[in-house]
Amino acid sequence: MDAAGWRRTIGEMVRENMRSPQVQYYFSVKTTEPRARMLLQQLALFVRHRRDCWSFLSSNCPVMAVKQQILKHEFGEVIKDEYTDRGHLDLLVRQGRFIGLSEDEVLNPTPIATTLATLYGWGWICREKHWLQGMAALTVTEWTNDDRLLADQGGGHSSRMARKWMAELGLTMEQLPQFKVHGAADEEHSDMFLPFLAEYATGANERIALDGVRESLELSAMYREGVGRAMEQLK
C-alpha cells in the first residue's frame, strides 16, 4: 500500500474501534469530579508510558530516518512545542489542578489492573516484536484523537472528552489544556509515520504492521473500558 492506502486502511480500523461497545461504554459514563480524577490519573500513566514505548521502538528499529522522526515526535512531547514549554505531561498537571489534583497525584498515581495490563502489552510489542509492528501500534493510538477522521462520530477522544467535561463538570476549554492541545496536535502526529509504513511495510511486512494496528486498538479498547468500569464504581 502507498501512504494513501495506509491512511484509508488504518482510518477504517480506528473508526471501527471507536464504534466498539467498549469505547461507547467508556464515553457513556457520566463525569463527576472523582471520576474525572480517576480518568486523568490513568491517562497520565498512559501518556508517561508512551515515552518508554517510543524509546523501546527507537532501540528496536534499524532505520535512521525513523529514529530521527521519533526524536522529533518526542521533543515536542517531552521538552517543548508550540503548545507548552514544559512537555505534554505539564498539560495534565495543569488540567488536574481544576479538579483538585496535586502535581504528585497526577504524575505518580496507582494504575488500575486494566491500565497496568495494557501498558505492559504496549511495552512488549514495542520492545520485543518487529519494529514495524511497534511503530504501527504506537502511531495508531494517536489516530483516535484525529477530529478529521472521526468528525461524523462526534470527533476524536480529546474533543469528545472536552465537551463531556464542559457539559458535566462546568469547566471551560481553557481549563482543559490536555484535551484542547491533543485535539489538534495528534492530527499532525497521525501523519508522521505514514511514509515509513508505505516504504517498509510491504510484502510480508504489511501483515506485521497491520497486526500492530489491530493489537494496539484492542489494547486501547480494553484500557478505556477498564477506566470506565473504575469510574462507574465511584458513586
> pLDDT tens, 106-137?
999 999 999 999 999 999 999 999 999 999 99
Query: What would the pLDDT profile of 58-71 be if each residue is shown by its tens digit?
Result: 999 999 999 999 99
Instruction: For 7-27, write each residue's pLDDT tens digit.
Output: 999 999 999 999 999 999 999
Which cell goes with 111?
494504575
Per DSSP, 144 falls in state T
Q: Rounded to two decimals, what is the model's pTM?
A: 0.93
- Percentage helix, strand, coil for the chain under 3-state DSSP, each rounded to 5: 80, 0, 20
Enclosing H/E stretch for 233 = none
**Residue in this structure with the C-alpha cell 472536552, named with its chain if needed:** 162
Q: Tell me the domain boundaries of the chain.
A: 3-232
Whether domain 3-232 has CATH 1.20.910.10: the reply is: yes
Distance between CA atoms of 197 and 26, rounded to whole angstroms?
30
